[in-house]
Amino acid sequence: GEDVEQSLFLSVREGDSSVINCTYTDSSSTYLYWYKQEPGAGLQLLTYIFSNMDMKQDQRLTVLLNKKDKHLSLRIADTQTGDSAIYFCAEFAKGKSTFGDGTTLTVKP
Amino acid sequence: GAVVSQHPSRVICKSGTSVKIECRSLDFQATTMFWYRQFPKKSLMLMATSNEGSKATYEQGVEKDKFLINHASLTLSTLTVTSAHPEDSSFYICSANTGAGELFFGEGSRLTVL
């Protein structure tokens, strides 16, 4: 079945770059998403990429997609303490979305 | 980006009562909305896909009679937790598809059943 996997934790120092990785299994995915969730809050759409693209950049965020390996990554440049949150990778395929378990990003001053 | 609003954001109810949660797309029409459940420190579990004007499609293991979903218009879907029990306590989140590839989420509704 469909499965999305992410590493659970990432810790970086303020000002460094963060790279959060995700793998998925459904080759029919049309869109792949990155969401941010802060404690007690809903999900905030950070960015998404269409499956026929291999890169998308939006200010400090860079998404890389390797469709052959079914690997997606989110790079946050100049990470700030306000970026500390849980980041979810998700795929949209066959009319529904599947989420990874989330990566908790901790940014140390 | 597009806005999806959920109401109420928090609700506490007694065991055996029913609770309705609303999900509205405020600035776009959503033919499809999704309902998720999130357990503490866990990912989102898709409960059902709600299509305007037709019956919802439930994921395996989700009780249709327990979680009633109605998608009455292109901007509103409701989830009713019927005869709620403490094990139904959770964070319920909806999302709406803009049709252009974007999937926006509501802020979530925290249900506590006493």
User: B98-111 pLDDT, tens per residue?
Assistant: 877 788 889 899 99
Average pLDDT over residues B62-90: 94
d(C-alpha B13, C-alpha A50), whole Å: 42
Residue B1 pLDDT greater than 70, yes or no: no
Question: What average pLDDT is seen over chain A?
Answer: 91
In A, minimum Cα distance to B49 occurs at A96
Q: Which two tokens stand for residue A6?
A: 């992410």
Q: Which two tokens stand for residue A53?
A: 């693209």
Per mean pLDDT, which range of A24-28, A98-102, B78-82 is the poorest? A24-28
Inter-chain residue contact B103 with A92, CB threshold 8 Å: yes
Inter-chain residue contact A48 with B44, CB threshold 8 Å: no
pLDDT tier at B59, thresholds 50, 70, 90: very high
Phi then psi dihedrals of residue B87, to 5 deg: -70, -10
- Residues of B with CB below 8 A from A100's CB? 43
Residues comprising chain B, all counted: 114
Q: Cα angle vertex A89, ends A43, B39, to 5°? A: 55
- Residues of A with CB below 8 A from B32's CB? 95
Average pLDDT over residues A76-90: 95
In A, minimum Cα distance to B32 occurs at A95
Residue A31 pLDDT greater than 70, yes or no: yes
